[in-house]
Amino acid sequence: MADNRPIGVFDSGLGGLTVLKELEKVLPNENFVYFGDTGRVPYGSRSNETIISYAKQDENFLLSKGVKYIVAACGTVSAVAAHTAKELPVNFMGVVENSVKAAVSATKNQKIGVIGTSATINNGAHKTKILELMPNAKVTTADCPLFVPLVEEGFSDKDDIVVLEVARRYLAPMLEAGVDTLILGCTHYPILLGAIKKIMGENVTLINMGNSTALAVKEELTALNMLNEDTTIGNKEFYVSDLTASFGKISNILLGKKIENVNLVDISKYEGSSNRN
């Protein structure tokens, strides 16, 4: 029997739309509810305690929409607050674990790089998980705080001198370390794929967290017999905690198409845990 309940996807802002884009490709029949916490973005510069609190509220909101599965489409939440999944009544997936598995499978010289927000890099979740799977791996990490604002201001062209100079500075440790695999540890970073590839070279494998996560979600839903087998095009609902003036521009950059309808949510109402367990 088809399970047509939606898949819930949340992020600290709109970066998770790049994950939703990959989920749509892999699971075209599924219904989705997306929540972007645009009123409190970014999570990457917050304390761990605050990130965990925000993640729980975001999850509670999605539970109120009757979702069958939750995807934390946020590198920061996946690194810092993935343990909140233990309290959920539905299955949960972050974007860290599967990107790590993909990187470990791809590397040939066991030199793996990770770039992300300050909170993601400082938490060290990627490095820890890489070393669990590949103890002899050499892991190089770097936080790239200017990448997100560059993307959201529309600077992403692989030939843009500003983008290339910022990328060159951030990626210098990766080139020096000789990594052959690089995890793009923030959902905005795939938009800069061309520039990053130009700096790193064609021989370095770039791991898109959205793609690896989408494939893993499909595999799990298939195993659980929870796929929506309805062949009609899936429905998508979009919610944000603050409807900013730049929403249309940013969402178009990240999702690759215009979002027609978006709903405003008072996320503070989801502080409690009545929907959990």
Which among 63, 119, 186, 200 is annotated as catalytic?
186
Which among 19, 74, 80, 166 is annotated as catalytic?
74
- CA distances from residue 216 to 13, 79, 95, 101, 135 in whole angstroms, order as listed: 23, 17, 10, 10, 23
- As given in the structure block, the two tokens for residue 133 are 């799977």
- Residues 52/80, Cβ–Cβ less than 8 Å: yes
Q: Is the dihedral of CA 82, 88, 93, 94 positive or negative?
A: negative
Taking 3-state DSSP, the helix, strand and coil percentages for the chain, each rounded to the nearest 5, stand at 45, 15, 40
Is 186 catalytic? The answer is yes
Which run of H or E residues covers position 17?
helix 17-26
Beta strands in 37-163 (DSSP E): 69-72, 91-93, 111-116, 138-143
Is 74 catalytic? The answer is yes
Residue 273 identity (one-letter amino acid)? S
Active site residues: 74, 186
